[in-house]
Amino acid sequence: MQLVCLDLEGVLVPEIWIEFSKRTGIPELSRTTRDEPDYDKLMKYRLDLLKTHKLGLPDIQKVISDMGPMVGARDFLDALRRDYQVIILSDTFYEFAMPLMAQLGMPTLFCHKLEANAEGFLVNYHLRMPNQKMEAVKRFKQINFKVIAGGDSYNDTAMLAEAHAGILFHPPQNVIDEFPQFPVTMNYTELRAEIDKASARI
């Protein structure tokens, strides 16, 4: 049995925090782990910013629902799910991702959770587990799935390395240079072709 695991942001939907920053006009929300490697510090910074700007969860979900998936993502995913079992592994949060999941046909998503108070303001976040992408792939292998994984960035490389076959999708040049062992694809046609090649090989 074969399973395809895909990252979400940068593969099927835009980078949510960066796009959210643009759409709200709050440039500080575009900070990522490249700017602040301490994820806990970064998330608390983001939650404080949302509170300062009085953006509650319903406001955030409305903005995110207006983003939409990347061009061609829904067709790619629909076709892929006809031939493979597909699970999305992401470090985003269900409360952010669900409006976009609805536009992608509600694929299975493993990610994290946010906590809102009675007024709808976000007060905390809860990681499902550390390194959840890699750990999920490891567990799928233990129950006899052959796993093909696709992702776009540095934080996907542990998942790609753990899978039977890992594929980069439209990655930045520094990731291409540092991880030459993974084939590089730049569009959905190329990604599907690499998935099919891996499927025939593993």
Domain extents in the chain: 2-14+71-111+129-201
* Dist CA 70 CA 11 (whole Å): 8
Which regions of the chain does DSSP assign to beta strands (E)?
2-6, 85-93, 108-116, 122-126, 146-151, 165-169, 184-185
Active site residue 162: no
Instruction: Evaluate if residue 38 carries a pLDDT over 90.
Output: no
Instruction: Give the pLDDT of residue 189.
Output: 98
Active site residue 152: no
Task: List the CATH code of the domain at 2-14+71-111+129-201.
Answer: 3.40.50.1000
pLDDT digits (tens, 9 = 90+) for 16-31: 888 889 989 999 999 8
List CB contacts of 175: < 8 A, sequence separation 6 or more. Answer: 152, 153, 154, 157, 168
- Determine which one of 9, 19, 95, 152 is catalytic: 9
- Token pair, residue 47, equals 């939650």
List the one residue out of 100, 8, 91, 108 whose CA is nearest residue 63: 100
- Determine which one of 7, 91, 152, 162 is catalytic: 7
- 121 phi-psi bin (left φ>0, alpha ψ -120 to 50, beta other): beta
pLDDT digits (tens, 9 = 90+) for 123-180: 999 999 989 999 999 999 999 999 999 999 988 999 999 999 999 999 999 899 999 9
Instruction: Give the pLDDT of residue 152.
Output: 94
Alpha-helical (H) ranges within 66-184 are: 73-83, 94-103, 132-142, 157-162, 173-178
Structure confidence at residue 34 as a pLDDT band (50, 70, 90): low
Tell me the whole-structure pTM to 2 decimals. 0.91
